[in-house]
Amino acid sequence: MKNAILRESLSTFMHSVTSQPLTLPILNNLTISQDQIELSKEVCDNIVRCRAYLDEKMKHSNMPIYGINTGFGSLCDVQISTDQLTQLQENLVRSHACGTGELVPKPIVKLMLLFKIKSLGNGNSGVHLATVQRLVDFYNLNILPVTYTQGSLGASGDLAPLAHMALSLIGEGEVWHEGEQKPTLDVLKEYDLKPIKLQSKEGLALLNGTQFMSAYAVHCLLKSYKLSYFSDLLGALSLDAFDGRLEPFDPLVQLVRPHKGQILTAQRIRAFLKDSPLISQPKAHVQDPYSFRCMPQVHGATKDALAHVCSVVLTEINSVSDNPNIFVAADKIISGGNFHGQPLALSLDFLKIALSELGSISERRTYQLISGQRGLPSFLVKSPGLNSGFMIPQYTAASIVSANKQLATPASVDSIVSSNGQEDHVSMGSISARKALRVIDNVEKILGIELLYAAQAMDFHAPLRSGKILDAVYSRIREVIPTLEKDRILYEDMETAIELVKGGSLLTLAQQVAQETGASYQTEWSTLFDY
């Protein structure tokens, strides 16, 4: 039995869930470190106080209170007797566990657990402390409920996916543990844990909420900030390889149109290009195409969009999003609509659009690099004609960009009636969330292709090199992807390049060299979290 492991794991924690808000840096650190969590005394007191109030209210009142002693949805007018309240809550969980489709990625499931803990810990939900502690146990022991991507309308919260999460608390359904998908009850027995017996209100508190959408949103934001930084880095490398001009990045240009993202983008690209012999050599051309010249405006607008989305998402994950809400001090139990996902749906649609533009402008830069201009050979290969060179990866990038255009179409403008008309307007935020992750995965691929092109274009400027930051990045690329001298199978190079984008090694290298050379720009991509 693993009860000793459980006791040990719960006695050594790295992050305390308190009433203080979760921030993106905290979430980033938790995601990377896999640190454990525990509930602070303040949070425990909030939970216990709220539950005691609800128990006392139920003891002295026969009034129907939605979801506590009534049915759900359009069955809200059906009152349930006291001796059936546990069955009511467990029936709710079982009946709503109707997810289908692909499995939710495990890192997102873990965020769902964390955000449900945070929401219930505010002390407005009426659950027992033991129920929240079981969610903490699952988080710390990496027991991750098997959850499906399809089934939520994003309105009464994420009912179906959260029902699958709640199913595991009562010992049913399946979980991921130690790399395997197992029956929940088997894993609980390994740790001498008993299934939770849900009491009044608890099933509804677990199912109502926006934790599915929120978890996707945070997962996407963490990736998006990284891709925003990478877009600046690769855009600067492509600009130098294209023999571009530095004037559009002059601070004076940005200050007469002082969008914060635009200013930051120009500052960063200037720092990347510091002391580059290529960027400072005389130019035969007066202007560059927009995909190079307008990087501050385009990349910067995405940064500003990320800042807005981040603000909405952080508000959401630190809020109470189940229903009804219990207000002990005011002696009120109020049925409202905090589970409705509209703020997240709109923001995730905005995120999709903003990130798809990073892919769109990146593909245009790759197109310019193979156009045979600026002293570069057509398709970036010696003997074009005999060799196709980098002709076709641009096709691949273009196809992905077009796919993103369709994925970026807002889901939040849609709605559909459910629950016999009781739930007559829904957010579709869960669809926005899933599409946002697909867009981001696609942008990683598009930037990987630009990485190949920028490095290959740089080869043709030898013996001239870029500045120290970009030259270090270029050299690291060449350690794992050799110059294309003649046609070879390229999909393997593309996969290597995409992994370089997904990983953090190139970003870390750029940051290190920037610090060593005294380049003046924000050296940590994570500093954007406070932007």
Which of the residues are catalytic? 66
Q: How far apart are CA 15 and CA 130, in angstroms?
A: 19
Q: Tell me the one-letter amino acid at 338.
A: N
Nearest to 214 by CA among 31, 433, 435, 526: 433
Max intra-chain CA distance, the chain:
88
Q: For 169-196, give the DSSP string.
A: HTT-SEEEETTEEEEHHHHHHHTTPPPP
User: Phi/psi of residue 123, each to 5°?
Assistant: 80, 30
| Main-chain phi, psi angles of 155, to 5 degrees | -125, -60
Tell me how far apart the alpha carbons of residues 92 and 311 are, in angstroms, rounded to a whole number.
33
Q: What's the Cα-to-Cα distance from 499 to each of 340, 456, 476, 528, rounded to whole Å? A: 37, 18, 13, 22
Report the amino acid identity of residue 181: Q
Contacts of 338 (CB under 8 A, 6+ apart): 319, 320, 321, 322, 323, 325
Q: Can you tell me whether residue 255 is helix, strand or coil?
A: helix
Contact between 394 and 367 (Cβ < 8 Å): yes
Distance separating alpha carbons of residues 289 and 22, to the nearest angstrom: 42
